[in-house]
Amino acid sequence: MVPKSGANDSKTPPIVSLISGGVAGGIEAAASYPFEFAKTRVQLRSQKGIPTPRNPFLVVSQVYRQEGIRALYKGCGALVVGSIAKDGVRFLFFDSIKNAFADPETGTLSPLRNLLAGMTAGVVASIIAVTPTERIKTALIDDARTEKRFRSGLHATRIIYQENGIIGLYRGLAGTTLKQASATAFRMGTYNTLKDFEVARDIPQTTATNFVNGAVAGTVTTLCTQPFDVIKTRSQSAKGTSTVEAVKSVLIDYGVRGFWRGTTMRLGRTVFSGGILFTSYEAVAAILNPMFVKVHHKLDIDA
């Protein structure tokens, strides 16, 4: 049986997955950061007598008026660096798993295998890159509204390490890993299931198609994983706390509904960022794939 046109006839080289994912992650993080900033502010414990608005635009406008435009990008550098590493690793592992277990005739994975591949990629990314960079980003955002001890991402990293060692930088590892495993499973699993469905029916993979698929994947991801995101944020505040203590604090402050606090803000970001992430990845991969195919072909000839 001949594979359908557009199926995964040629496997994506690991270096292409790594570079494309890293570039896409950096673009997505920088473009959508104000939403991430607002979402994080809402999930952190409110200061006494100063309730945090639930509307993301009110949060952004309030911070802009009181602290200036630079405050909206507090922690952005840490997130961009982390996203480059995170998405490079996520796409590398996901594509590697997909290449290994895809149907040899169609080049696709079943929906369940798509989810499992995404989950594995999320766990690896959390341990290698996400937890420490998210810790710094969250600590910077929290510190900016309270003690204002941290001058920059590097300064925050040094202070946290001096005070708590490597454990301080990995505060919230359990919550972050749960979030990343589930988020990557749903985001990449949903996107690739939609893509495989379209390819099997010869639906052209255009920029618009990639963006819509990414936006749908972002929506599914947010609704399914929001509690893990809230727990992670509480764990990684400026002072830091354990995952169990974070869960207790959310229940004390807001009850069970508190685990979905910031959903609207995160949804606004993930719909937008999901479209950007996968569109950027496909665009960069489309440029790099032919280059590496030529190099690989030349090496085969020389050999």
**pTM, to two decimals:** 0.76
Q: How far is CA 167 from the centre of its chain?
A: 22
Q: Which residues, at least 6 apart from 50, have a Cβ–Cβ distance to it below 8 Å? A: none
Query: pLDDT confidence of 50, banded at 50, 70, 90?
Result: low
Structure confidence at residue 9 (pLDDT): 42
pLDDT tens per residue across span 212-271: 999 999 999 998 888 988 888 888 877 778 888 989 999 999 899 989 887 887 887 888
Query: pLDDT confidence of 56, banded at 50, 70, 90?
Result: low
Structure confidence at residue 170 (pLDDT): 93
- Domain covering 14-302 assigned CATH 3.40.50.970 in the classification: no
Write the DSSP assignment of 193-211 as a string of letters: HHHHHHHHTT----HHHHH
Q: Which segments of the chain does DSSP mark as H helices, in order? A: 14-31, 33-43, 56-67, 76-101, 111-125, 131-144, 153-169, 173-200, 207-235, 243-254, 263-302
Whether residue 6 is predicted with pLDDT greater than 50 in this model: the reply is no
d(CA 169, CA 163): 10
Least confident of 48-52, 97-101, 179-183, 275-279: 48-52
pLDDT tens per residue across span 142-187: 888 778 899 888 999 999 999 999 999 998 898 889 888 998 999 9
